[in-house]
Amino acid sequence: MSDVGPYTHRMALRFDPIAEARRQWDSHGWGATDAMAAVTSISRAHQIVIGRINDLLRPFDLTFSRYEALVLLSFSRTGALPLGKMGERLMVHPTSVTNTIDRLERDGLVARAPHPVDRRAVLATITDEGRAVTKLATDALVEAEFGVGELRTETLRDLEASLRKLRRDAGDFE
Amino acid sequence: MSDVGPYTHRMALRFDPIAEARRQWDSHGWGATDAMAAVTSISRAHQIVIGRINDLLRPFDLTFSRYEALVLLSFSRTGALPLGKMGERLMVHPTSVTNTIDRLERDGLVARAPHPVDRRAVLATITDEGRAVTKLATDALVEAEFGVGELRTETLRDLEASLRKLRRDAGDFE
DNA sequence: CGACAATACTAGGACTTCCAACTATCGGCC
DNA sequence: GGCCGATAGTTGGAAGTCCTAGTATTGTCG
């Protein structure tokens, strides 16, 4: 088990493929090289990080998106939220929330309930089992520092700051 | 069309949902908060950036992953590469390459050819049409700075540097 | 009050990514 | 030379994301 995980499905290259892409890109005179490299890096980083986290969550039969939904519910005052509000907070499309809640409900970690006032809305309510699994999964993730333990706190914060700008420009908040 | 794009499917919140998650996380005493925030940020940033790029590529009937494959082929000396090598360079699973090439082949942008020496291997070869579309798509992406034009060059480079560490630690290269 | 727009959710389809398993071929080693 | 592990690619299936479209309910406004 010296391997970093299943998402690393081949030998390490002797060069950085993104640095190589940057070189080629420049030599073709294609422009916006920094943007290209940043975007490609984000893409690959996402793939790595999600892969690691899903590996950590597999023992609990969870994925990161389902885990995020559980955490959001466990943080809410009553353990219940309308699906629409969940979509806003999790920053995903409404249909993704439906999908996620379908699976969590099937697994007994969440239950759907009618909204007391608005009959269009549906409340997702976390179950006791849902809370228990969330606790265990959180312990595992924190223990493994979400798979990014090699990075220093400073690097993590730099990352978050740069990406916050991106998110704000995209209209996520403010 | 003052909207930033389809992937922004709701009003902006008045607060940053990741800052809010960070606050809640801390108040529950859960640990590894910086890691949690960084990972969540990467995830959301990926979603935003890919969404923008795919919007830009839609007129060419391309997606980012297919575009990346085309660029890789167009950069290669002969315009052809074994699928396995493409997977290494693009850092994706072999089955993803098969899937991508299937679609590009269906669209006439790439053709499969037998490897001259190794009969196990398959060469993906970019067609003239593939090269033409790649050129047009590249112009569009560069013009739009890959959807991250609001970020300064310095920020883009910081991002790339932080993520390079992550990628190296994950065994992508070196 | 009644028409019409807006909101909340769900259904169906496209796309990507991964994993597990299977086939075909290559290569090393006795 | 022949066996057997490694390598290359494909197939089938599970998940996630998004988009478009459709139903039900709410709310606004003449």
Q: Does the pLDDT of residue A1 top 50, yes or no? A: no
CA separation for the pair A47, B45 (Å, rounded): 12
Measure the CA–CA gap between B121 and B115, rounded to whole angstroms.
6
**pLDDT band, very low/low/confident/very high, at A172 (cuts 50, 70, 90):** confident
Chain A interface disruption, residue of B24, B39, B65, B169, most A CBs within 10 A? B39
Q: Phi first, then psi: what are they for B88, rounded to 5°? A: -60, -50
| Sign of the dihedral through C-alpha B5, B11, B13, B18 | negative
Give counts: helices (H), strands (E), chain B.
7, 3
The CATH architecture annotation of domain A17-162 reads Orthogonal Bundle (1.10)
Q: Given an 8 Å threshold on Cβ–Cβ distance, is B88 in contact with A37?
A: no
Whether CB of A130 is under 7 Å from strand C: the answer is no
pLDDT of A10 > 80? The answer is no
- The CATH number assigned to the domain with range B61-145 reads 1.10.10.10
- Interface contacts (A, B; CB < 8 Å): 241
Cα–Cα distance between B26 and B10 in angstroms, integer? Answer: 27
Query: What are the pLDDT digits (tens) for B42-100?
Result: 999 999 999 999 999 999 999 999 999 999 999 999 999 999 999 999 999 999 999 99
Alpha carbons B124 and B105: distance in angstroms, whole number:
9
Residue B54, both tokens: 């795919």
Chain B nearest C-alpha distance from A139 (Å) = 8
Q: Which residue of chain A comes nearest to B154, CA vs CA?
A: A34
